[in-house]
Structure 1
């Protein structure tokens, strides 16, 4: 990763941690996956993150948190996709090729 990409990654991780903490949700792990994790990104590639949290979150709350993260990063011109899974869902879905969680777990980089 270039220095700029490392700075962007750090900004994303900080935003994720802060937004979940503001909602009293414990982030257990963050995985970077997709083209950026594989080293195959292009200048206009987005960032793909899977966030594992300590408990299930209602859909509405999850969408609000992810929306705030995306809005915050859009101000810095960082395009990000954030998938949120509880520990239980992550463990189940990471073993099933029918879920993006499987590929994030297999190919992703733990941050």
Structure 2
């Protein structure tokens, strides 16, 4: 692997966009209190902000993971249904032929 491949692998788009969002959120949770203290906020205020950001980040991470799991389950379900229908002319309820029931006219 040459230097260009290493650079593009480390800076290119990753396969986990939710993970990227969480990493940036964690970075913000660490950076915001530092900036608040540097610009004159109290340590207690900065700690409170850090705690709030951490709680919001944790909830967002849970929601993102739940959404990813639901989307993966939906894709899996669709692929199973598509595979089961391959090779059939029509689903079972739409096949031609005679069947009993109240759909036939009584004369």
TM over 0.5: no
Greater strand proportion: 1
**Which structure has the higher relative contact order (CA within 8 Å, separation 6+)?**
1
TM-score by length of 1: 0.29
Greater helix proportion: 2
> Which of 1 and 2 has greater Rg?
2
